[in-house]
């Protein structure tokens, strides 16, 4: 089934409001396995609106319209649909009752203008609107469907979820389910090379997305029911897990910070950190988690070379140095100063090389009296992104250490 969305309202064309209804509906259609081929915005002009709707009705099986269901003359969606269908709008008793009662609950009498919100055409049935006056319209004619919903997202979304989604689910006969695997430590090109063969396959499909917290792999399966779709996903996920092992650090809504917090709390371990060019970003990432006072003992930002020398990170301020050794020194120092079980040192610098900004991060994860993990990594990008990536790099290294502790 092919769907199309029309967001109506001159305010949208004037840039006074941003269309958030289309992304919401687009997302919902994707989960239903309904293809969305077109989305447009049209103002409150009868001829132009009718033109857009005529085109949509011709080329798509389902057209979803939002907005223009209010009581004023400028709200013309019903009139446009009635015009396309060449049908007359008549008062619908049940809708009139709903609107009258809505005003009654507010202690008001229904203004006459609101009566037009109680109309239907013969091809339409009303979609109940529990949060507003305007019911929606579900129109079916010649095997095609038009769904008209109010503009305010607070009214539109519950109507979609309660009434429209279940009806479309029955019609679509298939559903789409997705699962995102989050990776770190492999470049997009390398990952593309490794999982490339799965990316050409139709069901489940696999797509890569570069995000600040790594490369995400989204597996999407289409089937007649959820169980079959999830089974397809599980099978592909297990192949990818075997292939990429601990380069996959989480799924769906997981954040690396939360995973680490759980690991630290489960093992009853405490942590302290020292960082330089990330200016407190690493400390913020850990301190900002629920229950952080139970595992995060504190941190230092060591930017100035005199301070770095006085703390023993470098030999003297005249010979600045930044490498895995300084990172390790920072990690051991905070284990001692903050009485922590684990110390992270995140040292590094950002340089401008031939016009490109490059960040070089050195990470050390030291465990009191035991283990040291020292790694370095180079990242291209803007300053904030470099800091984010370097912190991710440090957290990813910490997760690796915690997994085998």
Rounded to 10 deg, the angle between the 165-172 and 21-32 helix axes is: 40
Can you tell me the distance from the alpha carbon of 377 to that of 214, in angstroms, rounded to the nearest whole number? 14
Q: Is 220 exposed, middle or buried (0-12, 13-18, 19+ CB in 10 A)?
A: buried
Q: Are 295 and 264 in contact (CB under 8 A)?
A: yes
**Residue among 379, 375, 369 at smallest CA distance from 399:** 375
Per the omega criterion (within 30 degrees of 0), is the bond before 204 cis? yes
Quick one: 75 or 92, whose CB is closer to ligand ATP?
Answer: 75
Residue 33 as a binder of ligand ATP (CB under 6 A): the answer is no
Residue 345 as a binder of ligand ATP (CB under 6 A): the answer is no
Tell which one of 67, 204, 250, 359 touches ligand ATP (CB under 6 A): 67
**Could you tell me the maximum CA-CA distance found in the chain, to the nearest angstrom?**
88
Quick one: 27 or 187, whose CB is closer to ligand ATP?
Answer: 27
* Binding mask of the shown chain, residues 134 to 153, with x at each position contacting ligand ATP by CB under 6 A: x---------------xxxx
Question: In the bound complex, what is the minimum distance in angstroms from residue 39's beta carbon to ligand ATP?
Answer: 10
Quick one: 152 or 280, whose CB is closer to ligand ATP?
Answer: 152
Quick one: 109 or 354, whose CB is closer to ligand ATP?
Answer: 109
SS3 228: helix
Give the DSSP per-residue string, 192-260. HHHHHHHHT-SSSEEEEEEETTEEEEEEEEEESSHHHHHHHHHHHHHHHHHHHGGGEEEETT--HHHHH
Task: Determine the interface stretch with ligand ATP among 6-14, 202-210, 251-259, 357-365 (rule: CB under 6 A).
Answer: 6-14
Tell which one of 69, 260, 282, 395 touches ligand ATP (CB under 6 A): 69
Q: Binders of ligand ATP among 152-181, rule CB under 6 A?
A: 152-153
Residue 68 as a binder of ligand ATP (CB under 6 A): the answer is yes
Residue 36 as a binder of ligand ATP (CB under 6 A): the answer is no
Task: Determine the interface stretch with ligand ATP among 4-12, 49-57, 243-251, 385-393 (rule: CB under 6 A).
Answer: 4-12
Q: How do 124-127 and 136-141 pair as beta strands? A: antiparallel
Question: In the bound complex, what is the minimum distance in angstroms from residue 100's beta carbon to ligand ATP?
Answer: 16
Quick one: 150 or 250, whose CB is closer to ligand ATP?
Answer: 150
Can you tell me the distance from the alpha carbon of 131 to that of 158, in angstroms, rounded to the nearest whole number? 8
Q: Which residues bind ligand ATP (CB under 6 A)?
A: 7, 9, 11-12, 17, 19-21, 66-70, 75, 134, 150-153
């Amino acid at each position: 089934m092919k769907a199309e969305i029309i967001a109506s309202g001159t305010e949208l064309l004037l840039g006074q409001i941003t269309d958030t209804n289309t992304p919401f509906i687009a997302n919902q259609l994707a989960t239903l396995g309904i293809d969305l081929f077109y989305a447009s915005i049209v103002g409150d002009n009868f001829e132009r609106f009718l033109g857009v709707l005529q085109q949509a009705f011709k080329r798509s099986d389902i057209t979803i319209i939002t907005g223009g269901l209010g009581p004023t003359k400028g709200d013309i969606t019903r009139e446009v649909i009635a015009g396309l269908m060449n049908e007359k709008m008549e008062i619908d008793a049940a809708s009139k009752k709903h609107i009258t009662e809505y005003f009654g609950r507010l202690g008001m009498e229904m203004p006459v203008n609101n009566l037009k919100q109680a109309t239907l055409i013969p091809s339409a049935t009303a979609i109940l609107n529990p949060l507003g006056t305007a019911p929606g319209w579900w129109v079916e004619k010649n095997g095609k469907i038009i769904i008209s919903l109010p503009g305010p997202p607070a009214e539109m979304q519950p109507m979609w979820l309660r009434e429209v989604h279940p009806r479309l689910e029955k019609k679509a006969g298939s559903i789409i389910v997705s699962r995102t695997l989050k990776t770190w430590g492999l470049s997009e090109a390398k990952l593309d090379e490794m999982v490339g063969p799965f990316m050409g396959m139709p069901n489940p499909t696999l797509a890569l997305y570069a995000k600040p917290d790594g490369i995400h792999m989204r597996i999407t399966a289409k089937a007649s029911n959820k169980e079959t779709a999830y089974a397809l996903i599980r099978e592909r996920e297990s192949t990818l897990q075997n292939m990429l092992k601990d380069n996959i650090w989480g799924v769906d809504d997981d954040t690396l910070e939360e995973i680490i917090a759980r690991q630290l709390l489960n093992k009853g371990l405490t942590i302290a950190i020292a960082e330089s060019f990330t200016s407190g970003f690493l400390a913020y990432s850990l301190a900002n988690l629920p229950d952080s006072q139970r595992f995060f003992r504190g941190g230092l930002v060591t930017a100035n070379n005199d301070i770095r020398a006085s703390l023993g990170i470098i030999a003297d301020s005249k010979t600045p140095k930044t490498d895995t050794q300084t990172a390790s020194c920072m990690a051991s120092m905070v284990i001692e100063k903050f009485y922590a079980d684990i110390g992270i040192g995140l040292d590094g610098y950002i340089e401008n090389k031939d016009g490109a900004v490059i960040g070089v991060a050195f990470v050390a994860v030291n465990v009191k009296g035991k283990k040291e993990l020292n790694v370095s990594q180079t990242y291209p990008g803007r300053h904030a992104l470099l800091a984010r990536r370097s912190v991710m790099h440090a957290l990813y290294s910490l997760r690796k250490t915690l997994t085998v502790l």
